[in-house]
Amino acid sequence: MIDWLSLLTVLGVTIVASLAIVLVVGLGIRMLATPTRPGRVADERDEEEDEVNLNGRPRAATAFAVVCFVAFGGIIAFGIWLIVPAFHH
Amino acid sequence: MEPWIVVLVIAIALIFDFTNGFHDTANAMATPIATRALKPRTAVALAAVLNLVGAFLSTAVALTISNGIINEDPSGGGIAITPAFIFAGVMAAIVWNVATWLFGLPSSSSHALFGGLIGSAIVGAGLGAIGWDTLVAKVIIPAVVAPLVAGLTAFLATRLVYAVTRRHDGNPDGRGRFKIAQIFSSSLVALAHGTNDAQKTMGVITLTLISAGMLPAGAGVPFWVVIACAVAIAIGTYTGGWRIIRTIGTGLTEVKPAQGFAAETSTAVTILASSHLGFALSTTQVASGSVIGSGLGRRGSKVRWGTAGRVAAGWILTLPASAVAGALFALLSKLGELGVVIGAVVGAVALTAMFLVSRRTAVGAHNVVSDVSEAAEAVAIRPQRRGKRTGSR
């Protein structure tokens, strides 16, 4: 009576998809929180150079974060596609 | 069939739709309200709009109230589902929905509706009117599965999201940014809810019109019914079942932004995966399961099992309790038109009484998250162990 196959399918798909989504968003948010050098504190030289930004992050990190959030946007769009029957029936 | 009974059933069905909306606001919006990703009023307004939109999005309304749990087709040897029957079942569902709201319990509106109709059908047509196999396969098993699937998923998702964003150098981890992501994940839950739940009431009203001969058999849903149901569920959602929001948002466990995002993602994915892979699960049970799972997954958080136990008890009781209420209303309906009127009056008195009781300890947008510590004290079952809690992670 229990449809084990569809139950396991739902369980597997749900876990894999959820982990993928939180991984993408988590990585994006982690990238945004990347400072130039981990644990670095201001020294005297920094105080003389105005352009040194202690919280500035490498461009690569910003770019990776953007990629992550674009992917998240794609996942949201897919979710809406799944919700609206007119799109897939 | 007297036209006034049809009008009464439609009115009752729309009231049920309203209670369905305010009962289920919490499924999508309890966690973003709890983490202050959204202000309470903004959150319920967003959910209301998405429910309104969602109700119009679905093209095919399933013209069955009970999904085969009750044999609704008289030509197939089943019972003729008359408006008086439907009245008794829906009235019972409303009373149970309002009662569980009074206690802040996130119970399933679908279970309440099925239960009410089952009780009403048993009184009207005997035990044979119920498809017991369908009941087990479509209601009982999913009710057990939903919190487990969602809970396990949310547990793993929470672990992962904290592992990915953890910083070992003491710099800020930026997890507050999950509040923005939360808005998207909870909006998906609200939209999915709108496409599913308003349809139930559309089905009830359309079937009532067909059984009264006001629509031909096999007719589609009239557009005014779609509008009425969409508006009723949206108003209900906006009204906000604040008591239930408090239970899910702050009663089960303390929710942080990253954890809230993991829970909402698990809820959205569980609902979408189950509805598309043939194992439809209750939004309410999925949402509560996700919050508990995420509470287990976040280090330093604790799940208040006392509250979780009350929620679980509410789930177990919903179907039988609303069935008993449905049976009682159906007994009244058997007296004829006078019985239906008495049933409506009894229902109205019960609802008014519960509303008045609720005024004694009003919960609204202003205090839905501010009494967290007080609520925690009320439900805490054992004192905190020293040194176990790692603080605000």
Q: Is B326 in contact with B119 (CB distance < 8 Å)?
A: yes
pLDDT of residue B382: 45
Whether B132 shows a pLDDT value over 60: the answer reads yes
Look up tokens 């050098």; give the residue: A37
**Range of lowest pLDDT (B68-77, B201-210, B334-343):** B68-77
Q: With bands split at pLDDT 50, 70 and 90, how would you rate the model's confidence at B375?
A: very low
The token pair that represents B134 in the structure block? 């369908």
Residue-wise pLDDT tens digits, B254-293: 899 999 999 999 999 998 888 887 677 888 999 999 999 9
Q: Domain of residue A84: give its range.
A: 59-89
Give the span between the Cα atoms of B156 and B267, in whole angstroms.
Answer: 13
Query: What pLDDT band is residue B11 in, cutting at 50, 70 and 90?
Result: very high
The closest alpha carbon to B69, from B18, B24, B120, belongs to B120
Number of structural domains chain B divides into: 1
**Average of per-residue pLDDT across B213-227:** 84
Asked whether residue A20 is assigned to any structural domain, the reply reads no
B105 band by pLDDT with thresholds 50, 70 and 90: very high
Mean pLDDT computed over every residue of chain B = 85
CB A71 within 8 A of CB A40: no
- Kindly indicate the confidence band of residue B17, based on its pLDDT and cuts at 50, 70 and 90: very high
Look at residue B178 and tell me whether its pLDDT is greater than 50. yes
Q: Is A84 a member of any domain?
A: yes
Residue B393 CB-density burial (10 A; 0-12 exposed, 13-18 middle, 19+ buried): middle
User: Which residue from A minimizes the CA distance to B286?
Assistant: A14
Question: Would you say residue B322 lies in a domain?
Answer: yes
**Interface membership of A5 toward B (CB under 8 Å):** no
Label residue B63 by pLDDT band (50, 70, 90): low
CB-based contact, A62 to chain B, within 8 Å: no
Residue A27 within a domain: no
Using the predicted structure, report yes or no on whether residue B94 has a pLDDT greater than 90: yes
| Chain B interface, best mutation among A4, A54, A68, A83, by max B CB count within 10 A | A83
In three-state secondary structure terms, B130 is strand
B377 in any annotated domain: no
- B70 within 8 A of B207, measured Cβ to Cβ: no
* Closest in A21, A23, A29 to B177, CB measured: A29
Interface A-B: count of C-beta contacts within 8 A: 129
Q: CB-based contact (8 Å) between A26 and chain B?
A: yes
Q: What was the pLDDT predicted at B393?
A: 43
Within chain B, residue ranges assigned H as helices are 3-34, 40-57, 83-102, 109-125, 132-135, 141-165, 178-211, 223-239, 242-246, 257-276, 283-297, 305-333, 337-360, 372-379
Average pLDDT over residues B10-39: 93
Residues of chain B above pLDDT 70, percent: 88
Q: Under 8 Å CB-to-CB from B114, ≥6 apart: which residues?
A: B66, B69, B135, B139, B319, B322
Query: Which residues from A are below 8 Å from B192, CB to CB?
Result: 83
* Whether A71 contacts chain B with CB within 8 A: no
B58 near A CB under 8 A: yes
Whole-number pLDDT of residue B64 = 62
Q: Average pLDDT, stretch B177-193?
A: 92
Q: Return the top range by mean pLDDT from A52-61, B24-33, B331-340.
A: B24-33
What pLDDT, on a 0 to 100 scale, did the predictor assign at position B155?
A: 96
Note the pLDDT tens digit of each residue in A25-35.
999 998 888 76
Candidate from A13-27, A70-84, B117-131 with smallest mean pLDDT: B117-131
pLDDT of residue A44: 57
Residue A77 lies in a domain: yes
Going by pLDDT thresholds of 50, 70 and 90, the confidence category of residue B329 is very high
Confidence (pLDDT) at B384? 46
C-alpha–C-alpha distance, residues B197 and B268, integer Å: 15
User: Is the separation of the CB atoms in B84 and B340 below 8 Å?
Assistant: yes
CA distance B151 to B174: 25
Residue indicated by tokens 């929905």: B97
Mean local confidence (pLDDT), B224-247: 92
Count of domains for chain A: 1
CA-based end-to-end distance of chain B: 62
Give me the pLDDT at residue B98, please: 94
Q: What angle do CA A11, A14, A17 make, to 5 degrees?
A: 145
pLDDT recorded at residue B265: 95
Å between B387 CA and nearest CA of chain A? 27
Where is average pLDDT lowest: B3-12, B52-61, B141-150? Answer: B52-61
Domain range for residue B123? 3-371
Residue B302 or residue B63, greater confidence: B302
Q: Which residue has the higher pLDDT, B90 or B136?
A: B90
DSSP secondary structure code for residue B176 in this structure:
G
pLDDT at B141: 85
CB contact under 8 A, A32 and B174: yes
Are B230 and B56 in contact, with CB atoms under 8 Å apart? Answer: yes
> Is A80 inside a domain boundary?
yes
Token pair listed for A46? 């920094």
Q: A21-25, B114-118, B236-240 — which one is most confidently predicted on average?
A: A21-25
pLDDT of residue B389: 44
Q: Tell whether A66 is within 8 A of chain B (Cβ).
A: no
Q: How far is B195 from chain A (nearest CA, A)?
A: 7
d(CA B265, CA B261): 6
Nearest one of B87, B2, B125 to B342, comparing CA atoms: B87
What was the pLDDT predicted at B281? 81
Residues within 8 A of A (CB atoms), B 352-391 only: none
B390 domain-assigned = no
